Each structure stands twice: as C-alpha cells, then as structure tokens.
Structure 1
Amino acid sequence: VEILERSRDPVILPRAVGLDGESVRAFQRIGLGDEVAALCQPPRARDEVTFTNSRRERLFGMEIPRVGANGWRDIAFFDQPELEAFLRRQVEQDDRIAVCLGREVTKIAQSADEVVLHSRDASGGAEQEHRAAYAIGADGASSFVRRAIGSEWKSLGYDQDWLVVDIVQGPDAELPLVTMQVCDPVRLTTYVCVKDPNRRWEFQRLDGETREELLRPEKIRELLRPWVAPEHYEIRRAAVYQFHAAIAERWRVGRVCLAGDAAHQTPPFLGQGLNTGFRDAVNLGWKLPLVLAKQCDARLLDSYAAERDAHSRDLVEWAVALGQLMETLAAREAGEPDPYPTDQRSGYGQGRSAPPLRGGVLVTEQCNGAHPAGELLRQPTVRRPDGSECRFDELLGPGFSVVGRRPSDLRMGAGARGVLQRLQGRSVSLEGLEVVAGASDLLFDEHPALVLRPDRYVFGVVDDAFDLDRLLAELAQKLALC
C-alpha cells in the first residue's frame, strides 16, 4: 500500500471528536480496540446527550450506556491530534505501507489493468509517477479524485454556516457535563462535552452576520459569556464551516473508489462524519484483499457503492432531520409555525436507530424488517468454559464466520464447508459461553445459525427457506468467488 498525503504534518487541532462503537469494533478486528478505546474520554458519572430549550432546560435525550450493542461505548469522545498521532505510529511500524508526505496528486489515468497517478511535491517539486492495482480517493470534501473521475455532488438539502469554537477549560470553569442541542430561537447552539479538558460549541450564523464578524475575538467572547467566564478558558480553535449535506454521484469508476468526506458530507449533529468514513474503509478493507488475491472477481467491488451509498445517505438524512428538529423546537418556543414537518423520532433517544445495510453482499430476501440480514450482530463479553473472558468477536477471527446456537446447528455439506475454508472462515458455537457483559443477539431466539461478514454485519440467517448449505452457496455467488 502506498499513501500519498498532501500535508507533511499531523493534525494539531481538533476536528472530529467522537468515535462510535462500530468504529472501535473495527479497530478491535485488527487488534487495536483496547488501545483506541484508551485514548477516549473515560465514562463519567452520567454521560448524556439532550435537546434543550433556550434556558438549557432538558426537553428530551438519552444516557450513553457504558457498553453498547457493539461491545464498546455507543459514542466516546477523543482528541483528534492524539488519535491521528497513534494511527501514524501504527502505519510507520507496518513494512507493507509506504507513506509519501507532502505529495499532491495532480493526474489520474487508468486502464483495464492498473491506475497511474502523478503527484508533485506540495512545495513545488518534481512530479512522480505511481502505479497501483486500485486507488482510493480519501482526499476530503474538495476531493481532486472525485473531480477527476467526473463524480458530482448530489445535495441533500442542508447548507448552513456555523462557527465552531474549541476551548481548553480551566479547573474552575464548571461547565455542564451534558452534551446539548440548544434550541434557542435567537441562535441555535450545540455544546459538546468532549474529552477533558476540552469543550466545543457550534453557533449558527445568523442572517446578516458575516464569517469575519463571527471570528472576531470579542464576538467569540460574547457568545461564550453565558456559558463560561473568559478567565476560565483558552481558545484552542475557532473556524466557520459550512455544514453541508451531500453524497457523491458515483463512488467508483473502474479502479478508482471514493471514501470518507470525498464521498459524503454531513452536518455534525450525529457525530457521524468520521465514523461513516471508517465504514467506507472497513468495507473496502475486506473486499479489496479478496479481489487482489484473485479469490473473488472484481465484480465484488460493485457492492461497495451499493452498500455504502444508501447507508451513508440514511445517516446524512438523519443528521439533516435532527438539525431541522432543532429549528422546529426553537420556532415553537418563539410561538412561530413549524418550519419543517415534525419528526421527533430523529432526536436523541426518540426511536430512530442506526440504519442497516440494504443491499450488496447480503441475502436479499432477508433484507426487511422481519429478518436481520444487513444488521450488525451484537457483541457481548463472554466467559468461555475454561473461565477466560473475551469480547465475542475474538472468537470469530478477522474474516467470515458461521455462528450457531449449538454444534449441531453448524452442520453443513461438503460444498458449504469448502466455501468457508476458501474464505478462511470459522464456525463458532454459542454453547458453553456465558454472557458476562452486554447481551446476546435476540436473533438467536428465532434462528439457529447465521453467516456473518468480516465487518460483523449479518449476511443471512438460517430459516425455513435457507439452510447453511444454501446460505454459503449464496455467499459464494454474491462474492463472485473464483
């Protein structure tokens, strides 16, 4: 793997601030879950995310559990410079990865067999040529790669300027320990109780205000004064961003794929921008090796856009709905008509949950509310018969797996066993395992066994129409197994 990175220096200011349980679970799969979790804010006495009125009185919200469905916290706050420095160290220790810092890609061409990229030193040096089987453009919202493959943005209807202010609080700041969406008719405000000792605010730009006005030190002090006195903080960063909702028109053209902010932009109200990008990387991370090893035909990569586009769109639209709910609640407090159709389900803890996958490498017939294909499998902590404890994924290995209630539920014919062996998958029985934290997935109450993908999404379950033999045959077909 060769990484071409335009910047020479690591990030020194915070941007993303929250990791969800699925992202930490992905790091767990490559042996880094505990180390990444250790970089995050430890659980506080009560971690809560809420909607409030202008007086910061709670309207509704939810408490963040200490352990979520993925076996990790549903959201854990981190400091981006710390996490990025850690990940850079991991990359430097891997001899399979070459990192070229200060290289800006200027040209991309591809044939049936390879991608050819040209880059130049960001400070104006000579051009270099790079050849690869595939290229992934993870070069941000203003992506050169996206433009080079002719993929346009599809707007999802949200474009607003917000001032983002990060501070380091002093010991006597006495700021709330609750993350808030403040639905104030005067100015919508988000307050995020990020990793100590840092805190973040996002202030909506009002009509008639300029970006330059918002960035004046006296304006920032004015906005923060109702929360904290100037002597109790230092400003770490202040910037005006356009909160934008959009999805790339095409995620893949030939041997070039888009990922991260190059493929999707979302308002930050759900904290899913970075996490959605991680899902892109995980999706490509298990499919590309199968194609490069010639275990699967390149048609497998057609499922990348099929899976990630719809899933990302669901999350972006949810974030937009959350922002619109803030505006609606603020309007009601001011005695004005609702500016948007009411959808309180989009608020924290109000019924809306993480979307499933809706297509791609799944049993299509089981992608509906009555079946769990496309859902993430819950990950409890279990005690094995020898008394040792582990998170359930440790038993599954990094690849595909077949999971059953009992050893007898894992019986399959020679053809199905051959598919699992070619994929270096595992068969795992729940018998003899005791759940000591979290909960087993309720799908095992209805289904004796399932096939699980490397990213821990359910490929399909055993039911009246599908036994394990048919499930593994379907998997081979969906993967375009060679």
Structure 2
Amino acid sequence: MEHDQKTEVLIIGAGPVGLLLANFLGAYGVKTRVLEKNSTYEIEPRAVSIDDESLRSLQLIQLAEPFKQQIVMGYGVQYYDWQNKPLAEIKPNTQDYGYPKRNAFRQPDLVKLLVDNLKNYPCVEVLFQHQLLNIQQNDNQVVCQVQTGEQQTIQIQADWMVGCDGGRSMTRELIKAKLEGHTYPQKWLIVDLAERQCSLRHTQTFCDPVRPAIRLPGPNRTLRYEFMLHASDNDQHVLQESVFRDWIRQRMPADADLPLVRKAVYSFHARTASIWQKNRVLLAGDAAHLTPPFAGQGLNSGIRDVTNLAWKLAAVLKWNLPDSLIKTYETERKPHAAALIKMALQIGTFMQPKSKWSAFWMQNTLRAACLISPVKDYILQLKFKPKPHFPQGWFVAKKHHEQAELIPQPYVQDQTGKVALLDDYLGQNFAVIGWASRNFCHEIKKFIPPNVPVTCIALLNQDEDFIAQDIADHFILLRDCHGVFETIFKQHQAVAMIIRPDRYSYNMLTAQELQASVVDTQHFNTAFA
C-alpha cells in the first residue's frame, strides 16, 4: 500500500501515551501518523494505577465513561508495619476533578480502548514494523528516515514529531537529550496473577525490612504482587514459582496458587530528560521522564504530557497560534513531573526500611503524627500529592492569578434538568465561564484569544433557577450544583475566567477588568513570553 509520506504530526511509539496523543490529535482533525517498531501493540499489563487527572483526560474524547466499566474505582492503600500490624491508610474520598483519585486498571484494556477509538479518526494512521533511524530538521519540518518491515528505508516528513517511544527512546537519543537523575540498584519482582478469590479492593503495602511487598488487586479478579529484592538475591532464583509463591503464601495464603499471568524483575529509575524539545521534535511519557513505581504515577505523568501538548499542536496547526506556544510544553510539564518523581522517592523510602530499627522509628513517627487530625487528613486524602499547577507558561499572570491551575470539575445542571460533569459541555475547546448576565456575554468577547474555538458558559449559582435569564443565544446556561465556582471566583476576586482546552486556567477576570472600556490587547501576546 502506498502511503503519503507527509503528515502534520509524526508520533514515534504506539504505547498508551502515543495512542492517546493520536486520539487527541485525531479529534482535532490533525493529520497524524504513528510509527511502531514492533509488529503489534504492547499487551503486557505494565501500569496498574490511573488517577483522577488521567480519567479527566480520557473524558476529553468521551472515553472516561466506557473505561470506568473496566476499572476498580476509588481504591485505597493500607500500610502494615514491620510486625505486620495495621499502620496507616490512604482512602481519599474527594473528587475535585470529577473522579476518584486512585483507580486500578489493566493497561491492555486501555490500549484496546484507544486503538478501537482511532477508527473514528480517518486522519490518523498507525504503521507497525517501522523503525526510526534518523532525524533531520529545518525551520519548517522534520524529515525522518524510517526502516519498514520489508527492510526498505523511506523518508517521512512532518510539521512536528513527538517521541513517545519509552525509556529506551531512539528519539531522545537522536536529539542528544541526556537522562538526568539516578537508576537505582534496588530491584523488584513483579508477579501478575488471575482468578483472585479475595474481595478486598484496596492495595496492601507491607513495610517489612525483611521483604517489603505490595499486593495490588485489579479489575476482573486480577492481582499483582511486588516484592523488593536484596543484593544477595539472584534473578533466576526469585523467578522460580516455588520461591515467589512461598512469599505470596506468607502474605495471603489464598493467593499462593492462583494462575500465573506474568513475572518480571525490574529496576526503578528517577530520571528526566535534559531537554524535552529540540526545534520541531518533542518527547513525552517515559521518553521524557522515568518515575519510580511507588506512587503509581509513571503512566499518569505521560498522560498529563500529551494532554498538555495535543491542544498546543492543534492550536499551531489549525488555529494559527504561533509556534512559540509549543515551547511552553516543557516549561509547564517538566517541573510537575519532577515533583512527582520526588514524591515517589519519598514514598519508596518509607516502603523500603533498611532495618528493623529504621522501620520502628519511621513507622511509629507516622503513627503518632496520625493522632493529629489535620495530619491524618493530609495523609488520608492524598493531599501530599503535588498540585497540578504551574507558575510559568501560557497564561495571563497577575496578582490575583499568579499561576495556572487545573480547575475543579463540578457537577452542573442544564435547562433540561440534566446533571452532568462540567467538561461534558466544554468539548476540546477553550471555554469562558462567568455569572449569567447580558453584560458578561457581551464583554467577555474582548478577552478571548483570537482564532480559537470557544465554548461559552453562562453560570448560575447553586441558589438560582433558570427563570428569565438574559444571556446571548450562543451561550450555554448551567447551574453550579454545589457552589464550586463561587468558591473559585471569591478566591481570585474574579467574576469570570477563560479556561484552556486542557482545563487549566488561562485568565481570571475581576469585575473591573470585565467592564473596562479599553482592554490591554498585549495580554494575549505576553502569554507567550
């Protein structure tokens, strides 16, 4: 089959990060090609935890609802001390972004969902057995040399290229980006099992210096065990079923004889690429950062990457925004990815006590701290997780909006009486949200970035109904069911906001700014500085 050797975006790697980026771009109508060096999609159950931010990203392309049917939503983590006694637990019950904070899933299920959804986007093509060989760039395009499954060398031209090709990224190597950080000598054994009998849905973490271990129940009666290995352990020895089944039996006898799905030994990394962009080539997912597994944030960080990047590529290619917008991707994403790596290392230190004495000291300190209500709430509600925000990037910075934040996603009600999550009304566009009035509908226009599609929301507070609201016809009238936006607006002294397609705040407007007869037209351009 002859293929057009030109595309708007070329993605290297058909893992979940690359496939999600392809779905996002497909929804924007961006001509996209995905190259995968292997003969098929990755089917191993690698990542097992997906968070609320990632489910919200799937919601952008209407995949959150079908995916919810395949996952265990809202699981917690139970920690046990060195004597196998209950120590602490994390069971967050808030849903700031519309979904539970921790959810168990199977990576092959997510991959299948993303692959099947690509059928809705004829502008996206996936090519297997295509190996990236070399990259050449100029000011306008990337030219890639690629080897096909027939051992032919072809050239593919693209306006932009994104390497989603994993921890051993060829893209990263070709742009000469270095991995900075550490690879740790500590190894772990993973054992995936099927036909789980125990109904406990929460993860159990055994902080035992003799053999730290984690038990992670998954959907469809799946189960994962992870065991820390010592320097004296031999890989081939610990991979013997008789060995690891005995370790499992010590934790939960009922699990010891379950059918084996997969076993593997891995080392963990805490590293980020020195650069995430070189001209028109970018990195995302494991190609850009390698995260320790202890916080379950590796794939989630990759999903954040492409949620940030996809709309920017579409904005440059379809909405005539300047290329400089793409430079804000690394500015915004790299610090947050690094913060999550740091958090994972801190959790890992707690999970892997080096001796009974260190276990006794750390665990009893935590037990005492949890007697203090605010500390217990801080731990229980997962408030130690770095907030999704950035102090620098593409937004309008000012005294009452010093950093862009991922806005909460409340339930809203429309005029038909339907109650749904806010993002269901926003699509993949920019959005403006403000208190319902004819003045808001008229004045907000001058603050909207030019050339971009915008969804306009006129908002009622939770105490108002839909009687005689005077708003423009193209505005959607919604009621904030629980007063979430009233709290946000008060916090920022604002009456309206502009929201980016990735649901981060672009601008917060006070009443005085909204009513100003003259607007500083430079605010849009300075956001690129």
TM-score, normalised to structure 1, is 0.88
1:126 aligns with 2:149: no
Separation in 1, partners of 2:84, 2:402: 39
**C-alpha displacement at 1:309, in angstroms?**
0.6
Structure 2 residue aligned with 1:74, among 101, 104, 116?
101
* Structure 2 stretches lacking a partner, 5+ long: 1-31, 466-477
Within a 5 Å distance, the mapping from 1:62-141 to structure 2 comes to 62-65=90-93, 68-121=95-148, 125-141=151-167
1:404 aligns with 2:434: yes
The residue aligned with 1:272 is 297
The residue aligned with 1:143 is 169
CA contact 1:373–1:459 (8 Å) conserved in 2: no
AA matched with 1:155: G
Separation in 2, partners of 1:448, 1:282: 27
The residue aligned with 2:487 is 442
Separation in 1, partners of 2:359, 2:449: 61
SS of corresponding position for 2:140 = coil
Separation in 2, partners of 1:64, 1:471: 43
The residue aligned with 1:261 is 286
Q: Aligned pairs, how many?
A: 468
1:353 aligns with 2:385: yes
Separation in 1, partners of 2:444, 2:359: 68
C-alpha change, 1:329 and 1:181, in structure 2 (3 Å) is farther
1:237 aligns with 2:268: no
The residue aligned with 1:474 is 523
**C-alpha displacement at 1:334, in angstroms?**
4.8
Deviations 1:116-144 (A, max 9, x none): 1112135x622221111111000000000
316-325 or 53-62, larger mean C-alpha shift: 53-62
The residue aligned with 1:223 is 247
Deviations 1:455-477 (A, max 9, x none): 11112322489658768852343
Separation in 1, partners of 2:179, 2:110: 29
C-alpha change, 1:149 and 1:299, in structure 2 (3 Å) is same
Separation in 2, partners of 1:135, 1:69: 33
CA contact 1:4–1:99 (8 Å) conserved in 2: yes
AA matched with 1:96: C
**C-alpha displacement at 1:217, in angstroms?**
1.7
Structure 1 residue aligned with 2:502, among 436, 455, 459?
455
AA matched with 1:449: A
AA matched with 2:488: L
**C-alpha displacement at 1:237, in angstroms?**
0.7
CA contact 2:395–2:527 (8 Å) conserved in 1: yes
Deviations 1:127-178 (A, max 9, x none): 22111111100000000000100000010575531111111134xx336432
426-435 or 397-406, larger mean C-alpha shift: 426-435
AA matched with 1:73: P
C-alpha change, 1:296 and 1:159, in structure 2 (3 Å) is farther
Structure 2 residue aligned with 1:393, among 423, 429, 441?
423
SS of corresponding position for 1:196 = helix
The residue aligned with 2:397 is 364
Structure 2 residue aligned with 1:198, among 198, 219, 222?
222
**C-alpha displacement at 1:284, in angstroms?**
1.3
Within a 5 Å distance, the mapping from 1:265-414 to structure 2 comes to 265-293=290-318, 295-328=320-353, 331-332=356-357, 334-335=359-360, 349=381, 351-355=383-387, 356-365=389-398, 371=401, 373-407=403-437, 410=440, 413=443
The residue aligned with 1:53 is 81
Within a 5 Å distance, the mapping from 1:201-216 to structure 2 comes to 201-216=225-240
Identity score, percent: 27
C-alpha change, 1:283 and 1:68, in structure 2 (3 Å) is same
The residue aligned with 1:425 is 454
CA RMSD of aligned residues (A): 3.1
Separation in 1, partners of 2:398, 2:485: 24
SS of corresponding position for 2:453 = coil
228-237 or 433-442, larger mean C-alpha shift: 433-442
Separation in 2, partners of 1:51, 1:120: 49
* Structure 1 stretches lacking a partner, 5+ long: none
Separation in 2, partners of 1:468, 1:55: 64
